[in-house]
Amino acid sequence: MPNGLQWFDNELFVMDQLTDDIFVLDETGKVKRIIRTETENGSGITVGGGSVWTACNGKANAHPPRPYDNHVSKVRKLDPCTGDTIDFFLTPDGGGIHGIEWDNGNIWLTAFNPKSLILVDGGTYDVLQKFPCDLTVLHGLARDDTGIWCADRAEKLIVKFDVSTGKELDRILLPKDGPDPHGLTIRNQQLWYSDANFPITDGMRGYPEIGTIQR
């Protein structure tokens, strides 16, 4: 269940919602290694500052509870080799989280109380910036040179916002029979998405996938 994506150094880091582990793929899609983690209900993933960061979206429904699961939404900072938790912080709004994206020492997060994009300091976790994001289900994030893309899983929509003002700059509407964009990442100015095919709802295609968006 590929619920989060991040390209980093020619490797694609995939947050798997079924196992809450990270699958690292090469450029052909072959699994190079698996990083075991204490992530719970893993939704988003990013890489930066020498660490891997995962979005823990509260109680997991895709597997039985484990001894260290506490069903609290948070962001985990992980050792990229061992997957051990180095640090963590609670979501700024106390609610769930899907998207997460490293941005030059800081971290963008999706929030739901109210729906917004939040930028936090990557060292102190203090909130630096926040703007409203009126999408239905905020999911994956991808930062490019001029803005930040946010996927709306429910509407099959990906919207680009100005990082300074929150103003909408662009949008991509996927076909009705297309994927539900959960994870999002960008490489060489091309957007990549993942469809976790979970939770099961009407209109889903019935299989997970990772792909690129052609415009």
Residue 188 Cα to chain centre, angstroms = 19
Q: Count the helix, strand and coil residues of the chain and give each as a percent rounded to the nearest 5.
A: 0, 50, 50
Q: How would you classify residue 71: left for phi > 0, otherwise alpha for psi between -120 and 50, otherwise beta?
A: left
Asked if the bond preceding 114 is cis, omega within 30° of 0, the reply is yes
**Is 34:74 a contact under the CB 8 Å cutoff?**
no
- Residue closest to 118 by CA, chosen among 136, 146, 96: 96
Output the pLDDT for position 116. Answer: 97
Per-residue pLDDT of 177-193, as tens digits, reads 899 999 999 999 999 99
pLDDT tens digits for range 148-175:
999 999 999 999 999 999 999 999 999 9
Assign 206 a pLDDT band (cuts: 50, 70, 90). confident
- Categorize the per-residue pLDDT at 67 as very low, low, confident or very high, splitting at 50, 70 and 90: confident
Question: Mean pLDDT in the chain?
Answer: 94
Q: Which residues pair with 109 in a beta bridge?
A: 100, 118
The confidence band for 204, taking pLDDT boundaries of 50, 70 and 90, is: low
pLDDT at residue 122 is higher than 70: yes
C-beta separation of 14 from 26 below 8 A:
no
Domain boundaries, the chain: 2-192
pLDDT at 19: 94
**Closest among 186, 147, 155 to 173, alpha carbons compared:** 155
Q: Terminal CA-to-CA distance of the chain, rounded, Å?
A: 25
Taking the C-alpha atoms of residue 54 and residue 73, their distance in angstroms, rounded to an integer, is: 11
Rounded to whole angstroms, how far apart are CA atoms 174 and 44? Answer: 20
Mean pLDDT on 109-114: 95
List the CATH code of the domain at 2-192: 2.130.10.10
> Which residue's structure tokens are 């929509």?
157
Reply yes or no on whether the pLDDT at 64 is more than 90.
no
pLDDT of residue 193: 97
